[in-house]
Chain A
Amino acid sequence: MDSKHFHHALKISDEICIGCSHCMTVCPTEAIRVRNGIAILYENRCVDCGECFKACPVSAIFIDQDDFKRIQTYKYRIALVPAVFFGQFPDEVSQNQIYTAILANGFTHIYEVEMGVDLLLEEVKTYAKSHPEKKPLISSFCPAVIRLVQVKFPALTENIMLLKPPLDITALYCRKELTDQGINPAEIGVFYITPCAAKIAAIKSPVGEDYSMITGVINMDTLYNKVYKFIRTDRSTNPVVIPKKHLSKTAWQWTLTHGEASHVPGRSLAIDEIHNVIEFLEKIENDEIGDIDFLELRACDESCAGGVLLSANRFLVAERLRSYSPLAKDEISEKGNIQAYKDYLLRRINIQAVNPRSMMNLDENMEEAMRKMDKSSQMLQCLPLTDCGACGSPNCQAFANDIALGEADIRQCIFIQKNREQTGELTPDESLEMLKSIWGNNKFFSNRK
């Protein structure tokens, strides 16, 4: 696995960004700075959690997706749709209508992502039993969490369960099923309808995998808008009859909080929302909490129901999925064809070890890192500890580190500027130029438009 190549789905538009620093303040890995009036991303620290996307007041942060027209370059166009997609629609919209609308928008097949869940669950139980030394096991489900562990908790990469998430299993399954029907693999395009940025990043540079089975990614809001518009306006298309419930109750609820943890034997905890996850992993890393067998960790509040690309309120989405599920039968025999491919899929269910990718260090060389740390703590003693962010770094500590790393100048601090203006070390013009280098020229006109 090449750790240098690290795809990010989150992008910042220089044209739209107003350099307000909201994203910089909320980033849980301190991966954003403001320079020349726009936000910049330190790519090696970003884990694609999407907090910045939610915080941006002008929608300058966007999630890079494939052009929807790209699906038409394939004869067989598979939509891999997560259960949360269905939970977004008002109660009066039936699942049949949703299926009909997805197909009417150009797809030839629909596979629910969670089709692979029941198979995976059995394997998780076996895996947990055969790896007693790796406690607590950390689920491989949420790609933002995997990246967070790599970057911020490198010692815990060993605890990550090396099994494919349901998405990869179902992608393998649908390709295999269609090729077995005599379809040329080159004519199959598998498009994942993603609820978040992290899943895209995981597909474009998979962790623990050599390559991804997924052809392209469509943002969930893009398809939601197309589907909902069709449902609201189309009066002529005959609704398709969807096959009987594909998904078990377990599968429907898998991507919700407790979806995994409630099924894994032993002491299993479910923790959602990235700051909660960080708080908990700190304790796990210190060995403060023992005797936990399994951790379901999700970067979004309410797990995938809270994905940044969902259009509906996360609590309603979760509630709808929970109320759908009693309809679904829980017996294996009801789950369609995937059972016929069980052996094929189980042989391919393991992923390679996930390597640490620590981005916390000040330098690769320890002696050099110590010198930088010394410099950083000297700098911190001069700083006001107000964490105002006016220097273009998220807080005084991060700013001190930036100075030590040679990426910032102590005169960017407005408190230092005031002091130095008074002692004559800095002219008012110089300090204005300093601020302009962070916040851009536009913010310093008296009548900013």
Chain B
Amino acid sequence: MRFEYTIEAGNFTKAGDASSSFKKILKQLNVDPQIIKRIVVSLYEGEVNIVAHANGGKVICDVDTSRVHMQLIDIGPGIPDIAKAMQAGYSTASAKVREMGFGAGMGLQNIKNNADELIIKSEVGVGTQLTIIVNLNKE
């Protein structure tokens, strides 16, 4: 099953809406609560990244009985050095964004910690595409 959400750039009051909607679906599908938590935490981080850094984007979530496959696609500045961006504490967030409690530089690392697989594709000046995969079978 596929679920799509549009993410608005710069609107922090709506950051988290996609994660909350998708969370509700996962609960209805009887996914294990602890796995839901990992999915939602990583999706939320990715969602906030799009709101903060990009000029908008979308989230496409595909669910089957074995896994959740999430694509977060944005149009934005892109990440010049992905390896550096993965380091804890690295952040390009503006002071304004940091004041709001975002941009602590833990985002990508936090996604990686919660996901079973994280693929980052990015082109400077074009945009970033995150693919987050979480397996649904506990092993």
- The answer to whether the Cβ of A370 comes within 8 Å of any Cβ in the partner chain is yes
> 8 Å CB contacts to B: which residues of A353-411?
356, 358, 360-367, 369-370, 373-374, 401
Question: Number of residue pairs across A and B with beta carbons under 8 Å?
Answer: 61
Chain B residues whose C-beta falls within 8 Å of the C-beta of A365 in the assembled complex? 30
B34 and A361 contact, CB distance less than 8 A: no
A286 and B28 contact, CB distance less than 8 A: no
Please pick, from B23, B24, B29, the residue contacting A366 in the complex, using a CB distance under 8 A: B29
Kindly provide the distance from the CB of A294 to the nearest chain B CB, expressed in whole angstroms: 19
Kindly provide the distance from the CB of B21 to the nearest chain A CB, expressed in whole angstroms: 11
- The answer to whether the Cβ of B40 comes within 8 Å of any Cβ in the partner chain is yes
A155 and B37 contact, CB distance less than 8 A: yes
> 8 Å CB contacts to A: which residues of B1-45?
1, 16, 19-20, 23-25, 27-31, 33-34, 36-37, 40-41, 44
- Report the bound CA distance from A169 to B136 in whole Å: 41
Chain A residues whose C-beta falls within 8 Å of the C-beta of B30 in the assembled complex? 358, 361-366, 369
Kindly provide the distance from the CB of B66 to the nearest chain A CB, expressed in whole angstroms: 9
- Report the bound CA distance from A31 to B31 in whole Å: 21
B29 and A287 contact, CB distance less than 8 A: no
Q: How many positions in chain B have a CB within 8 Å of any CB in the partner chain?
A: 22
- The answer to whether the Cβ of B63 comes within 8 Å of any Cβ in the partner chain is yes
- Report the bound CA distance from A299 to B30 in whole Å: 26
> 8 Å CB contacts to B: which residues of A326-345?
none
Q: How many positions in chain A have a CB within 8 Å of any CB in the partner chain?
A: 24
Chain A residues whose C-beta falls within 8 Å of the C-beta of B41 in the assembled complex? 286-287
A288 and B44 contact, CB distance less than 8 A: yes
Chain A residues whose C-beta falls within 8 Å of the C-beta of B34 in the assembled complex? 155
Chain A residues whose C-beta falls within 8 Å of the C-beta of B24 in the assembled complex? 360
A285 and B63 contact, CB distance less than 8 A: no
Kindly provide the distance from the CB of B48 to the nearest chain A CB, expressed in whole angstroms: 9
A361 and B33 contact, CB distance less than 8 A: no
Q: Tell which of A283, A285, A367 has the most Cβ of chain B within 10 Å.
A: A285
Please pick, from B27, B31, B40, the residue contacting A286 in the complex, using a CB distance under 8 A: B40
- The answer to whether the Cβ of A177 comes within 8 Å of any Cβ in the partner chain is no
- Report the bound CA distance from A363 to B16 in whole Å: 26
A374 and B1 contact, CB distance less than 8 A: yes
Chain B residues whose C-beta falls within 8 Å of the C-beta of A433 in the assembled complex? none
- The answer to whether the Cβ of A282 comes within 8 Å of any Cβ in the partner chain is yes
Report which B residues bind A (CB closer than 8 A): 1, 16, 19-20, 23-25, 27-31, 33-34, 36-37, 40-41, 44, 63, 65, 136
Report which A residues bind B (CB closer than 8 A): 154-155, 157, 282-283, 285-288, 356, 358, 360-367, 369-370, 373-374, 401
Can you offer 30 A-B residue contacts whose CB atoms are under 8 A? A154-B27, A155-B33, A155-B37, A157-B33, A285-B23, A285-B37, A285-B40, A286-B20, A286-B23, A286-B40, A287-B37, A287-B40, A287-B41, A288-B44, A358-B33, A360-B24, A361-B30, A362-B28, A362-B29, A362-B30, A365-B30, A366-B31, A367-B65, A369-B30, A370-B29, A370-B63, A370-B65, A373-B25, A373-B28, A373-B29
- Apart from A154-B33, A155-B33, 16 more pairs, CB < 8 Å: A155-B37, A282-B20, A285-B23, A285-B40, A287-B37, A287-B40, A287-B41, A360-B24, A361-B29, A364-B30, A365-B30, A369-B29, A370-B29, A373-B28, A374-B1, A401-B28
